[in-house]
Amino acid sequence: MIDINLIRTNPELVKNNIKKKFQDQKLEYVDKVLILDEKIKALKKEGDDLRASRNSLSSQIGLLMRDKKLDEANKIKAQVVANNQRIEAIEEEEGKLSQELKTYMMSIPNIIADDVPIGKDDSENVQRLTVGEAKVPNFEIPYHADILESLNGLDLDSARRTSGNGFYYLTGDIARLHSSILSYARDFMINKGFTYCIPPFMIRSDVVNGVMSFDEMENMMYKIEGEDLYLIGTSEHSMIGRFKNTTLKEDNLPLLLTSYSPCFRKEVGAHGIEERGIYRVHQFEKQEMIVICKPEDSMMWYNKMWQISSEFFATLDIPHEVMECCSGDLADLKVKSCDINAWSPRQKRYFGELGSCSNLSDAQARRLGIKFKTDKETKFVHTLNNTVVAPPRMLIAFLENNLNEDGSVNIPAVLRPYMGGQDKICPKKK
């Protein structure tokens, strides 16, 4: 949510930002906010004037009663009653208008960074960097589900019976590899100076509304029936919500946090759920990184965070590209974002979002009331998030880039301590 003072002082800047995001249907929201803001201001003034009048009149009643001027006292009492009734009506109307204004404010997108490329959707994202050698082996790379099944590591049929499409069983060495990658990611981030956390896996609606847009919530979140609780789609939601309505000390910033959680997503939309595979699923596990910092430091941390992710995937022998998200591909709360996509030897192209790094400036902080105090003033913090790793999706890239012609999969040196010293996973004899 942007600062309403920006709409008051520079509505055209806000409208131009909406146009850059190709959301022209929201242009009228700016004018509606301005109209509602003026109505609320007028009601506040009327209410303040009535309260001042009520206080003045109330002080007169005692004096009139003392002097036995009952008729005058009763007239003033009647005026006080009338004032109170009007104040109640004003407060009720003000509350309704404020809620309407908040709804529009929460739907107006954040102001994107000046260097964000302008484009309608992810097809217009811009490649900024490639890391590692994108190789195509001289043998055919099977579909990832076939590789997993040949290693006795995937059971989709049983998962369909227990849970439906979008779920899976990982077994044997593949299940161990999955856990090893998460353990390695945890230690990798701790060694980078981040504090390891395990957050609640359910959050209340006021936190959900604070960390994401309405459209995202509708398409992603599972609600717990009969309770004000949602299953998290990423640990970022719970981690940022941890600081709701808090004022942090300037000396304690930045907060560098890395969190593990399972994640649950409806995956509503055009992509849909795969019937055969683990690329787009309802449930997965993830290691995340979160930074809460001063406004002037947020872009520096944004660049550090995606570089950390790139370094992490390089240690796993996964060639990848860093793609800067264009304006139309940015979620409403984001100022700037980039995706890391893996090289797919099977498809001979970069494919498969390994992670996404985002700077949300003070959008989440305004919604949740997260501030920090300097010697002179209190300001909103900036919040950033970035995927460290999210298996099982990244297993696809891992398998394709570490597969041998005989069907075995190499284990990079950094993972071997977590795999009991194993340097390969070999196909199981049937």
- Kindly report, residue by residue over 196-230, the tens digit of the pLDDT: 999 999 999 999 988 887 667 777 889 999 999 99
**H helix count then E strand count, the chain:** 13, 18
Tokens of 38: 């003026």
Buried b (16+ CB within 10 A) or exposed e, 389-424: bbbbbbbbbbbbbbbeeebbbebbebbeebbeeeee
Task: Please give the model's pTM, rounded to 2 decimal places.
Answer: 0.89
Give the integer Cα–Cα distance in Å for 195 and 291.
Answer: 11
Give the integer Cα–Cα distance in Å for 197 and 189.
Answer: 11
The domains of the chain are located at: 4-107, 122-425
Q: What pLDDT does 60 receive?
A: 78
Task: Please identify, in words, the CATH class of the domain defined by 4-107.
Answer: mainly alpha
Q: What pLDDT does 273 receive?
A: 63
Q: Which of 51-60, 375-384, 387-396 has the lowest mean pLDDT?
A: 51-60
Of 55, 58, 83, give the one whose Cα is nearest residue 73: 58
Same fold yes or no, 4-107 and 122-425: no
Q: What pLDDT does 274 receive?
A: 62
Give the integer Cα–Cα distance in Å for 415 and 294.
Answer: 35
Residue that the structure tokens 């002037």 belong to: 296
> DSSP assignment of 339-364, as one string?
EEEEEETTTTEEEEEEEEEEE-TTHH
Query: Does the structure show a pLDDT above 60 at 122?
Result: yes
Of 194, 224, 391, 223, give the one whose Cα is nearest residue 293: 194
Q: What pLDDT does 214 receive?
A: 65
Would you state the CATH architecture of domain 122-425? 2-Layer Sandwich (3.30)
Residue type, 413: A
CB-based contact 51:143 (threshold 8 Å): no
Segment 291-301 mean pLDDT: 97
Model confidence band, residue 190 (pLDDT cutoffs 50, 70, 90): very high
Mean pLDDT of the chain: 92
Q: What pLDDT does 204 receive?
A: 93
Q: Would strands 195-197 and 255-264 be described as parallel, antiparallel, or unpaired?
A: parallel
Give the integer Cα–Cα distance in Å for 239 and 387.
Answer: 13
Give the integer Cα–Cα distance in Å for 93 and 114.
Answer: 39
Instruction: Please give the residue that has the higher pLDDT: either 68 or 142.
Output: 142
Q: Which of 24-33, 158-167, 263-272 has the lowest mean pLDDT?
A: 263-272
Query: Does the structure show a pLDDT above 80 at 294?
Result: yes
Tokens of 127: 């490649």
